């Protein structure tokens, strides 16, 4: 990871109980911590009395029970979903069944593009294909409650259906997995798209929210500085990939080890997906050519 990104690690992140972050926002972290989920998925409760739950999390009965306990005596009007990965959306069905809330937000799961001939989707098992929203929110559409508004902002890239949600009453953006303070975002074709991800970062550069609350980890406290660093990191990675191709590397398997020096071999697969996303974008921009449609196993060379 590029050192210029001002990552912030959460030294203390209580799981199992809801914590009040602001007068309008509470957070409950799911017990699904891991290398790709950090301390666990952040479920947010927005409002008081009549509330929305953002990203209810995985299909975990303990987490659902804790969420329902946290909103005991209140009315859950909406379950709001940023994207359809299995650590974010599956609990929506259980919360809807228990509360009668509307499930709103992103569309059902969809890939960024069709599979190429012979290509397999390496991350298909991480997708929540059972997610069935009551209402799909389009760009700029909002749900509201007493003293709160959640306005949808399309931010594809991590997934094709990814949404962020602005809370103008607190000048806050719930950024899902698009921007996180603890790590860079996984962008893995065909579900993800580097071209879409970079465009979504550029889109946020034109906004004024003072703080982002992501799907994993703590807040992004200086969003514009952080966005600049993320863009710089991706452009550096792109340049490094082009350098490896110029040096004679042709496959993702050849590119990853020198590009990610010191990385544990067990993580080469995840790194390869990121390199693949960059190569797919470089081919689309005419900077690289491949011997077939871009895939994990294709051969690549400078254009």
Which domain range does residue 298 map to? Answer: 230-302
pLDDT in tens, 216-234: 999 999 999 999 999 999 9
Check: pTM over 0.85? Answer yes or no: yes
Mean pLDDT score, 278-289: 98
Three-state secondary structure string covering the chain: CCCCCCCCCCCCCCECCCEECCCCEEEEECCCCECCCECCEEEEEECCCEEEEECCCCCCHHHHHHHHHHCCCCEEEEEEECCCECCCCCCHHHHHHHHCCEEEECCCCCCCCCCCCCCCCCCHHHECCCCCCCEECCCCCEEEECCEEEEEEECCCCCCCCEEEEEHHHCEEEEECCCCCCCCCCCCCCCCCHHHHHHHHHHHHCCCCCEEEECECCCECCHHHHHHHHHHHHHHHHHHHHHHHHCCCCCHHHHHHHHCCCCCHHHHHHHHHHHHHHHHHHHHCCCEEECCCCCCCCCEEEC
For residues 218 and 250, state if they share a domain. no
Query: What is the pLDDT at residue 167?
Result: 98
Find the CATH number of the domain harbouring 133: 3.60.15.10
For residues 156 and 236, state if they share a domain. no
Domain edge (last residue) among 222, 244, 267: 222
Query: What is the pLDDT at residue 69?
Result: 97
Query: What is the pLDDT at residue 166?
Result: 98
Query: What is the pLDDT at residue 66?
Result: 97
Query: What is the pLDDT at residue 3?
Result: 44
Instruction: Report which of residues 118 and 302 the model is more confident about.
Output: 302
For residues 61 and 185, state if they share a domain. yes
Task: For residue 124, name the pLDDT band (cuts at 50, 70, 90).
Answer: confident
For residues 181 and 67, state if they share a domain. yes
Quick check: is 23 in a domain? Answer: yes
To the nearest whole percent, how much of the chain has pLDDT over 90?
84
For residues 278 and 200, state if they share a domain. no
Tokens of 196: 């879409």
pLDDT at 288 over 90: yes
For residues 185 and 289, state if they share a domain. no
Q: How do 75-81 and 19-20 pair as beta strands?
A: unpaired
Query: What is the pLDDT at residue 12?
Result: 66
Find the CATH number of the domain harbouring 278: 1.10.10.10
pLDDT at 146 over 70: yes
Domain edge (last residue) among 177, 193, 222: 222
For residues 187 and 272, state if they share a domain. no
pLDDT in tens, 49-83: 999 999 999 999 999 999 999 999 999 999 999 99
Instruction: Report which of residues 22 and 2 the model is more confident about.
Output: 22
To the nearest whole percent, how much of the chain has pLDDT over 70?
98
Q: Which region holds residue 158: left if phi is over 0, alpha if psi is between -120 and 50, else beta? A: alpha
Quick check: is 7 in a domain? Answer: no
C-alpha to C-alpha distance for 96 and 252, rounded to whole angstroms: 43
Domain edge (last residue) among 169, 189, 222: 222
For residues 162 and 200, state if they share a domain. yes
For residues 173 and 139, state if they share a domain. yes
Give the Cα-Cα-Cα angle 11, 15, 19 (nearest 5 degrees): 85
Quick check: is 241 in a domain? Answer: yes
Task: For residue 10, name the pLDDT band (cuts at 50, 70, 90).
Answer: confident
Mean pLDDT score, 257-275: 91
For residues 66 and 84, state if they share a domain. yes
Quick check: is 4 in a domain? Answer: no
Query: What is the pLDDT at residue 1?
Result: 39
For the chain, the average pLDDT equals 94
pLDDT at 182 over 70: yes
Task: For residue 2, name the pLDDT band (cuts at 50, 70, 90).
Answer: very low
Mean pLDDT score, 153-160: 97
pLDDT at 17 over 60: yes
For residues 151 and 289, state if they share a domain. no
Mean pLDDT score, 203-209: 95
For residues 210 and 82, state if they share a domain. yes
pLDDT at 300 over 60: yes
Quick check: is 192 in a domain? Answer: yes
Number of domains in the chain: 2
């Amino acid at each position: 990871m590029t050192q210029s990104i001002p990552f912030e690690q959460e030294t203390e992140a209580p799981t199992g109980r809801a914590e009040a972050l602001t007068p309008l926002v509470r957070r409950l972290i799911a017990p699904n911590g891991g290398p790709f989920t950090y301390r666990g998925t952040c479920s947010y409760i927005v409002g008081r009395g009549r509330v929305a739950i953002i990203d209810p999390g995985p299909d975990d009965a303990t987490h659902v029970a804790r969420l329902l306990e946290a909103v005991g005596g209140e009315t859950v009007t909406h379950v709001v979903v940023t994207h359809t990965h299995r650590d974010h959306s599956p609990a929506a069905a259980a919360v809807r069944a228990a509360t009668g809330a509307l499930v709103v937000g992103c569309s059902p799961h969809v890939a960024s593009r069709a599979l190429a001939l012979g290509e397999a989707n390496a991350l298909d098992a991480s997708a929540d294909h059972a997610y069935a929203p009551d209402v799909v929110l389009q760009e700029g559409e909002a749900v509201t409650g007493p003293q709160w508004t959640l306005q949808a902002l399309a931010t594809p890239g991590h997934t094709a259906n990814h949404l962020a949600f602005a809370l103008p009453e607190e000048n806050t953006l719930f950024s899902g997995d698009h921007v996180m303070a603890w790590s860079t975002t996984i962008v893995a074709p065909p579900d993800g798209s580097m071209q879409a991800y970079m465009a979504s970062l550029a889109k946020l550069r034109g906004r004024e929210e003072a703080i982002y609350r992501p799907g994993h980890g703590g807040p992004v406290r200086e969003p514009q500085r952080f966005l600049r660093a993320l863009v710089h990191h991706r452009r550096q990675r792109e340049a490094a990939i082009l350098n490896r191709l110029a040096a004679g590397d042709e496959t993702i398997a050849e590119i990853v080890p020198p590009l990610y020096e010191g990385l544990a071999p067990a993580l080469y697969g995840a790194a390869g997906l990121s390199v693949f996303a960059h190569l797919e974008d470089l081919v689309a921009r005419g900077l690289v050519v491949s011997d077939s449609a871009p895939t994990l196993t294709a051969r690549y060379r400078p254009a």
